[in-house]
């Protein structure tokens, strides 16, 4: 620890002994550093934020979804800093005053591209930052230039968002209109050709359809009728089965009708058997004989229709059967008519197949052109409506949240901090230089250092003795040294004052 303390004292003594060298080095470093800082132009930044409203019920109703708007805005954001738009900014601001040839314009555009940033803070909130650090302009002019660049970028953003999409929509509508006119001419030619063919062969264009098309339609209808007829016949067979198992009349509950007596006798016989009486039991034999005797009269009574009430279920089933039978007859009649049409059309097709093929081709071409024309017409109306919605309502969606600010202080460099850093670097450099010169000379500053270096005991040390004249000269030099040191600090303070005064002039 003692050796370290002695080394520290030795270093301080070496620097102090060569203080003029240290001061000169510090002055040199500070002068060079401060000049370099003075040559760095101040950079002024202007910030602005814009907001784009995406949700719109009317736009979504006509097919302009939020995803489409996001893609449009992202496209505008990416193309905002393109070379074409930056060139517009250069020509609209003071940056274009000194542009005389394309090379200068290209260089100015590239430099402006490095000084402009468009950042998406959220899905529909954008921040525009413009930086101006032109060395040929004053600080006030650079501050104003940064604000002008940001404002021009906002104007371009608004133009791209409003008129850019409308320009694209106009070009799209012009293209669709051209296609519509071409399809309209082709459709007119097809209609003329079709009318001429129908006038020459009216039998091949009955009802406006080709012969083969009508034949195929009749066959399809015939297949449908066959399926319906099969279903109707099945339903009729089912209702016939239900009628066969349903009695026409219901036996009455009172009186001595044969049917009622037969029902009671059968019930008594069933009860006897349920009680476990065998077939040889006298009561069972008597009941069987009674049932056998009553069956003949009951059958005659049922055939004559007397002795009971009409069955409503049977009447309802008869009504349903009559309806289904009428449906079957109608389908059979329709089927016969379609079979006749199919046979007639088949004969016509076989008799002149070339003419039928020509009619089919003419009608097919006409139908294709008609469908294309209707589709293009519908697309044009949808595009027109979308264009009117975008151009008529987009201005409401664009909003400048924070207008471009006029900077009051430079964003870079931090000149006061740099000036102070250079001062510290100058002082540290001067001390380091003086210490390095001291280490290059073999000088022992203390008796202990001499004793350690030689290994011999040091008997004593003689202190320095100065005369009065030497002391006066020493004090005079100290005054000069302190004055030069204070002058270095004063120069630093003056530079700081000049920096703040210059900032105040910009504000």
- pLDDT single digits (tens) 78-115: 677 788 888 888 888 888 888 888 888 888 888 888 88
The CA distances from residue 320 to 232, 240, 325, 359, 397, in Å, are: 12, 10, 9, 47, 68
Output the six-digit token pair for 388.
Answer: 């009117």
147-195 tens-digit pLDDT: 889 888 888 877 766 554 555 566 777 777 888 888 888 888 888 887 7
Residue 345, pLDDT score:
66
Query: What pLDDT is recorded for position 228?
Result: 87
CB of 413 closer than 8 Å to CB of 43: yes
- Over pLDDT 70: what percentage of the chain? 75
CATH number for the segment(s) 44-177+380-402: 3.30.1890
Q: Where are the beta strands (DSSP E) in 14-121?
A: 44-52, 116-120
Check residue 422 and give its pLDDT.
95
Q: For residue 276, give the DSSP letter.
A: T
Provide the CA 191 distance to its chain's centre, in angstroms.
45
- Which pTM was predicted? 0.49
Residues in the chain with pLDDT < 70?
Answer: 1-3, 6, 53-78, 123, 160-170, 198, 201-213, 215, 245, 247-259, 301-311, 345-356, 386-398, 441-447, 449-450, 464, 506-507
Q: How far apart are CA 412 and CA 44, in angstroms?
A: 7
Residue 126, classed as helix, strand or coil, is strand
Q: Give backbone dihedrals phi and psi of 310, rounded to 5 degrees, phi first.
A: -60, 145
Tokens in use for 407? Answer: 């900077």
d(CA 353, CA 344) in angstroms, rounded, equals 14
- SS3 state of residue 247: coil
CB 118 within 8 A of CB 77: yes
Tell me, what's the pLDDT at 208? 41
| CA atoms in the 13 A half-sphere facing the CB of 340 | 6
DSSP 160: I
Beta strands per DSSP E along 316-422: 398-402
Q: Which residue's entry shows tokens 């102090």?
A: 16
């Amino acid at each position: 620890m003692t050796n370290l303390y002695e080394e520290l004292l030795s270093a301080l003594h070496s620097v102090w002994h060569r203080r003029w060298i240290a001061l000169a080095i510090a002055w040199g470093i500070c002068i060079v550093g401060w000049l370099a800082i003075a040559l760095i132009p101040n950079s002024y930044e202007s910030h602005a934020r814009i907001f784009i409203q995406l949700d719109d019920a009317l736009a979504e109703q006509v097919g302009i979804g939020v995803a489409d708007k996001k893609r449009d805005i992202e496209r505008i954001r990416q193309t905002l800093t393109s070379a074409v738009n930056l060139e517009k900014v250069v020509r609209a601001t003071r940056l274009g005053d000194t542009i005389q040839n394309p090379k200068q314009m290209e260089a100015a555009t590239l430099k402006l591209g490095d000084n402009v940033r468009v950042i998406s803070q959220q899905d529909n909130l954008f921040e525009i930052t413009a930086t101006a650090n032109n060395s040929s302009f004053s600080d006030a002019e650079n501050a104003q230039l940064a604000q002008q660049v940001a404002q021009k970028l906002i104007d371009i953003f608004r133009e791209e968002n409003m008129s850019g999409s409308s320009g694209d929509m106009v070009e799209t509508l012009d293209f669709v209109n051209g296609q519509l006119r071409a399809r309209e001419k082709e459709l007119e030619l097809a209609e003329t050709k079709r009318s001429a063919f129908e006038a020459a062969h009216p039998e091949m264009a009955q009802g406006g359809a080709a012969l083969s098309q009508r034949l195929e339609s009749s066959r399809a209808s015939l297949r449908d009728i066959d399926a319906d007829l099969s279903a109707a016949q099945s339903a009729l067979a089912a209702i016939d089965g239900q009628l066969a198992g349903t009695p026409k009349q219901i036996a009455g509950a009172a009186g001595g009708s044969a049917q009622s007596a037969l029902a009671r006798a059968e019930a008594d016989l069933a009860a006897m058997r349920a009680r476990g009486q065998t077939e040889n039991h006298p009561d069972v034999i008597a009941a069987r004989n009674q049932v056998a005797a009553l069956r003949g009269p009951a059958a005659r009574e049922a055939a004559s229709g007397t002795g009971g009430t009409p069955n409503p279920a049977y009447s309802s089933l008869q009504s349903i059967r009559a309806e289904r039978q009428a449906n079957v007859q109608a389908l059979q009649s329709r089927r016969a008519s379609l079979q006749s049409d199919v046979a007639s059309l088949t004969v016509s097709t076989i008799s002149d197949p070339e003419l039928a093929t020509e009619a089919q081709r003419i009608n097919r071409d006409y139908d294709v052109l008609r469908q294309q024309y209707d589709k293009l017409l519908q697309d044009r109306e949808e595009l027109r409506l979308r264009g009117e919605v975008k151009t008529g309502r987009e201005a409401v969606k664009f909003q400048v949240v924070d207008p471009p600010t006029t900077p009051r202080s430079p964003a870079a460099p931090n000149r006061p901090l740099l000036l102070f850093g250079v001062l510290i670097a100058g002082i540290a450099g001067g001390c380091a230089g003086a210490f390095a010169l001291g280490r290059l000379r073999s000088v022992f500053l203390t008796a202990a250092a001499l004793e350690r270096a030689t290994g011999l005991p040091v008997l004593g040390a003689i202190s320095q003795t100065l005369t009065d004249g030497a002391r006066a000269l020493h004090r005079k030099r100290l005054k000069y040294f302190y004055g030069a040191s204070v002058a270095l600090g004063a120069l630093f303070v003056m530079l700081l004052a000049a920096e703040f005064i210059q900032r105040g002039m910009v504000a």
